[in-house]
Structure 1
Amino acid sequence: MADAASRLTALAEELLGEPLPVRIRAWDGSESGPPGAPALVIRHRRALRRLLWRPGELGLARAWVSGEIDVDGDLYEVLDRLAALLWERGADAKDSVHPVRDPKVRAFARGLLQVAGPWPPPAPPPEEVRRRTGPLHTRRRDKEAISHHYDVGNDFYELVLGPSMVYSCAYWEDGGTLEDAQRDKLDLVCRKLGLKEGDRLLDVGCGWGSMAIHAAREYGAQVTGVTLSTEQAAFARKRIAEEGLTDRIEIRVQDYRDVRDGPYDAISSIGMAEHVGTVRFREYADDLYALLRPGGRLLNHQIARRPEKDESAYRADEFIDSYVFPDGELAPVGRTVATLEEAGFEARDVEAIREHYALTLRHWVTNLERHWDAAVQATSPGRARVWRLYMAASALSFERNRIGVNQILAVRPQQGGASGMLLRARDWRTAPAG
C-alpha cells in the first residue's frame, strides 16, 4: 500500500482524537507525523498483524522483539511521548465503554486490517516464556520462572550491571558511579540490619553474591545465601573464593521455603519478594519470621505498584510476564507492610527510593547500549531488545510514580515486646545491652 505511514497516522489520530506525538516511518519508505519528532519505525506490516491478533502491550512487544518495529531517536523520548497516550489515557478509560464495543476502536481495527493484510502473523519470537501450567508459585514453577530470567548467561549480566553485579535499585547518596551507588545500597542494608562480627545473616535471593560478600567482608557476618539460579550460584561461589571468604559464606541452590537451619540474627531480601506472589506472600512472611531470633531484623527491599480502585481487577503487565519476569507480581506497599505485621513482625521503617531506581535503570540501559554487540553475542538479538525496552520503560514508570520501590525494616519482637532499636530515628545501630 502506497504511503502506509500517512494512513496509519490518520487512523491513530482518529482513534485518539488528538495529533500523534511521534512520527511514523513505514516499510514502504513513507513517513508522516510532526516535523522534528522522533520516529516509530515499522519495518514490516507483520507488526500490525501482531497487534491485531493480540491487541495491547503483548502484540507490540512481539513486534519489538522480532525487530519489526524500532525507534529512530531517543528511546526514552519516544516512550515518554507515547506514555501520555498509553498509560494516562488507559488509566482514565478504565470506567469507559469496553474497547470491543467502542465504535472508534472497531473502526481503527478495520482500518488497520486493510493496511496490514488479512494473513495471521508468524509464531511469537522464541524468547517468549513457554506456556505455564499448574498452580502459581509451586517450587517447580518458581524454579522454572527464575531460570528463565536469571540463567541467560552471566556474561550478559556483567555487561549490563557492571562490576558490582547487583541487580536491584542502587542508592545514590553523593552522586558517583553506579558501582559507588550499589556499594552504598549494600552498606545501607547492613547498617539497617545492625550487622556486627559473627552475626548470622540469611540473604534470600542472593543473586551473584554481592550482598553476602559485603556483609562478610565489611561487617564480619556469617552469611548463608540462597538462590534458585544455578548460574548465579556458580558465579557467586567463584567470587567468594577469590575474596578468600569461603569460611564465612555459604551459597545454596535452595528454595527459601526449604531453609531450616535458623535462627538467624538478620535476613536480607533484596529484589526477591516480587517473585513470591500474592498467594504465597503470607507464607513467605511466616517463614522468614520463624527463621529469625527474637530481636532479629528483616530488610525487605521490594518493588511496589500503585493500589487499584478495584484490587480484584489487577492484572500483571503482559509484556513483563511473557518476556521478563514470568509469574512476577507487584503489591502496594501498604499490603506488604500489613502482611509482615500479620505474621508477627513490627515494621520499624519504610524508606521509598523510587527515584533511585529510575537512575539505576538508566545506567543499566547505558551499559547495554554501550556494549550492544557483545550483549547480542552473549544472548540473542531478541533477548537484548527485550532488556533494552523493559529497562527503559521501567525507568519511566518509576519517574512517573506508576511503580515504586521500598526498603521495609521489620523486627521480630523480643519477649515483652522490646525491639532492640535505638530511640533516635534512622540510626541503624543496635541498642546497647541493658
Structure 2
Amino acid sequence: MSVAPRIATLVERLLGAPPPVRIRGWDGSVAGPPDAPVVVVRHPRALRRLLFRPGELGLARAWVAGELDVEGELYPALDVISGLVWNRPDGAATGGRDLLAAGRELLALAGPVPVPPPPPREEVRRRSGPLHSLRRDRQAISHHYDVGNDFYALVLGPSMVYSCAVFGSPKDSLETAQAAKLDLICRKLDLREGQRLLDVGCGWGALARHAAREYGARVVGITLSREQAEFAREQVAKEGLEDRVEIRVQDYRETDDGPFDAISSVGMAEHVGAARYREYASQLFGLLAEGGRLLNHQIARRPRKDETGYHVDPFIDAYVFPDGELAPVGRTVTLLERAGFEVRDLESLREHYALTLRNWVRNLEARWDEAVRLTSPGRARVWRLYMAASALSFERAHIGVNQILAVRPPASGASGLPLRTREWRPAAGERRELAA
C-alpha cells in the first residue's frame, strides 16, 4: 500500500475522523480531501521523530529539518492543524489499545529506528545554570537575538521594532503602525523634556531614540544582546543623540542608577519567568521615582481551569525563545500590585499583534532566499512557522498582548494622571504645532 493512504488511515485512527488535510507521501502518493491544504511528508525520518518525541516537538523537528512541509500558503494548513490541537475531536483516540495500535502502524511506516534522529542544529542544545539565572538568561537571549542584524532588518523592516505595532487601520503600513506604537508609549508615560527613561529590553533602540528625539527625554536602554546594542549605538550616533541616549549590555537586575521618571518594558517580560517575576516587578518599582510610571507591554495567555503555573510551549522553548514563559494578564497585574505599583490602565492589542506578525511573515516570504543565506534553511523555517502560528493564535484569542500602565504612588497619593486615563497627551508632532 502507498505511503499517503497509510498515513491518512493512521491519522483517522488517532482522530476518530478522516484527516482534514490532504497528505502527500515521500513516494509521491496522495490521500485526503482534494480541496484541503496539502501536508507533505518528505521523508520517513519525520515519522521516526514522532516515534521518539510524540507531539509538538517531534513535529517541529521534522518541520525545521525540511522533512515535513506544506504546499502553497502556510496559513490554511496551520489553521486546520492548530484547530485540531486547540479543539481535540470527540472521537480522538485516548485509550491505551487505540494508541498502541496507532504506534505499531507508525513504527511500520517509519521503518527501522535503532536510534532517534539528531535534532536540527537550530535547536537549543545546552543550558547552563539554574532557570532564569543571569548566565542562563544571557544564553537564551543570545540564541534568539544574536542571529544577525541583517536578518532581523529583513523581517522587521526599516523600523527594527520587534514588538506589536499599533494600527489605525489594517491598511496602515508596518512602519506607520510601529511609529504610532512608539509614540503611544511615550504619551502614556507622559514623557517630558529632560526626564529620565529606562527602556528595559531596548532591542535595536527605536523607542529610546524616539523618546529622546521627539520628547527630549534622557534615555538608558538596556539589552542582553550584544548585536542589538551594537546596532542601537550606531543608530544613536547617526542621529546625533549620544548626549541623550546610552545603550548598555546589562540585565535589569544589574541596573542600580535610579531614580528614573519613567520605565518602559516592551516585549521583554515574557523572558522573566514565574520564579523571577516578583523580583522583576520589585526591581522596576525601586528604580522609579515617586509618581513615576511603568509601561509594561507583555504577551499573555488565557488562563486554564487547572491553572498550576506558567505555560512553556515545547516548540517555542526549543527553537525560538528558550525559557520563555507566558502567564495570564491577571497574574501579571497581581504581581505588579504586590510589588507596590498602582495599575491605572490596561489596553489589549491582540488584533494588532496578528496584523504585525502577518506583515513580518510577508517580509520573510518575499525575501526567502536572502533569509536562508543570512541564517540557514532551518532557521528561516523556524521563523516562518513560529510567526505564522503566532498570528493565528492571536487571531483565535488563544494568546493576547497588553499594555499595562502602572504608577509608583507618591506619599500624597496624587498620581499626576488625567481624570480620564485614556486622555493621553497629544502626539509629539501635534505638540510642536501647538507650541509654534
Q: TM-score category by the smaller chain?
A: over 0.9
The answer on 1:18 being equivalent to 2:12 is no
- Matched residue, 1:88: 87
Correspondence for 2:164 among 147, 169, 183: 169
Tell me which amino acid in the other structure corresponds to 1:36.
Answer: D
Correspondence for 1:103 among 97, 102, 111: 97
Q: Distance in 1 between matches of 2:267 and 2:201?
A: 8
Q: Distance in 1 between matches of 2:246 and 2:324?
A: 27
> For the Cα contact (< 8 Å) 1:282–1:339, is it kept in 2?
yes
Tell me which amino acid in the other structure corresponds to 1:107.
Answer: A
Q: Distance in 2 between matches of 1:276 and 1:334?
A: 16
Q: Distance in 1 between matches of 2:24 and 2:403?
A: 43
Distance 1:326 1:425, change over 3 A: same
Tell me which amino acid in the other structure corresponds to 2:129.
Answer: G
Deviation at 1:345, TM superposition (A): 0.4
Q: Distance in 2 between matches of 1:207 and 1:290?
A: 23
Deviation at 1:118, TM superposition (A): 2.9
Q: Distance in 1 between matches of 2:282 and 2:147?
A: 32
> For the Cα contact (< 8 Å) 1:275–1:329, is it kept in 2?
yes
SS at match of 1:427: coil
Identity, % of aligned positions = 69
Tell me which amino acid in the other structure corresponds to 2:148.
Answer: G
- Matched residue, 1:277: 273
SS at match of 1:413: coil
Q: Distance in 2 between matches of 1:73 and 1:196?
A: 50
Q: Which moved more, 1:314-323 or 1:19-28?
A: 314-323
> For the Cα contact (< 8 Å) 2:310–2:325, is it kept in 1?
no
- Matched residue, 2:433: none
Q: Distance in 1 between matches of 2:371 and 2:254?
A: 35
TM-score (norm 1): 0.95
Tell me which amino acid in the other structure corresponds to 2:17.
Answer: E
Structure 1: where are the runs of 5+ without partners?
none
Deviation at 1:132, TM superposition (A): 2.1
Q: Distance in 1 between matches of 2:204 and 2:100?
A: 49
> For the Cα contact (< 8 Å) 2:268–2:298, is it kept in 1?
yes
Q: Distance in 2 between matches of 1:179 and 1:188?
A: 14
> For the Cα contact (< 8 Å) 2:344–2:421, is it kept in 1?
no
Deviation at 1:121, TM superposition (A): 3.7
Structure 2: where are the runs of 5+ without partners?
427-436
- Matched residue, 1:160: 155
Correspondence for 1:394 among 381, 390, 394: 390
- Matched residue, 2:121: 126
> For the Cα contact (< 8 Å) 2:342–2:409, is it kept in 1?
yes
Q: Deviation digits for residues 268-327 of structure 1, max 9, x if unmatched?
A: 000000000000000000000000001100000000011122222654110000000000
Deviation at 1:37, TM superposition (A): 1.6
Q: Deviation digits for residues 357-401 of structure 1, max 9, x if unmatched?
A: 011000000000001011111111100000000000000000111
> For the Cα contact (< 8 Å) 1:421–1:429, is it kept in 2?
no
Distance 1:314 1:281, change over 3 A: closer
Deviation at 1:429, TM superposition (A): 3.6
Q: Distance in 2 between matches of 1:21 and 1:213?
A: 48
Tell me which amino acid in the other structure corresponds to 1:160.
Answer: V
> For the Cα contact (< 8 Å) 2:48–2:117, is it kept in 1?
no
Tell me which amino acid in the other structure corresponds to 2:348.
Answer: A
Pairwise mapping of residues 374-413 of structure 1 onto structure 2 (< 5 A)? 374-413=370-409
Q: Distance in 1 between matches of 2:81 and 2:144?
A: 27
Tell me which amino acid in the other structure corresponds to 1:84.
Answer: G
- Matched residue, 1:300: 296
SS at match of 1:415: coil
Correspondence for 1:345 among 338, 341, 356: 341
Which aligned runs of 4 or more in structure 1 are off by greater than 6 angstroms?
Answer: none
- Matched residue, 2:434: none
Tell me which amino acid in the other structure corresponds to 1:273.
Answer: A
- Matched residue, 2:316: 320
Tell me which amino acid in the other structure corresponds to 2:141.
Answer: I
SS at match of 2:406: strand
Pairwise mapping of residues 32-431 of structure 1 onto structure 2 (< 5 A)? 32-89=31-88, 102-119=96-113, 120-174=115-169, 175-312=171-308, 315-429=311-425
Tell me which amino acid in the other structure corresponds to 1:145.
Answer: A
> For the Cα contact (< 8 Å) 2:75–2:388, is it kept in 1?
yes
Alpha-carbon RMSD = 1.6
Q: Deviation digits for residues 119-171 of structure 1, max 9, x if unmatched?
A: 13421101100132432100000000000000000010000000010000000
Tell me which amino acid in the other structure corresponds to 2:315.
Answer: F
Q: Distance in 2 between matches of 1:306 and 1:173?
A: 26
TM-score (norm 2): 0.95
> Number of residue pairs matched?
424
> For the Cα contact (< 8 Å) 2:310–2:327, is it kept in 1?
no
SS at match of 1:106: helix
SS at match of 1:340: helix
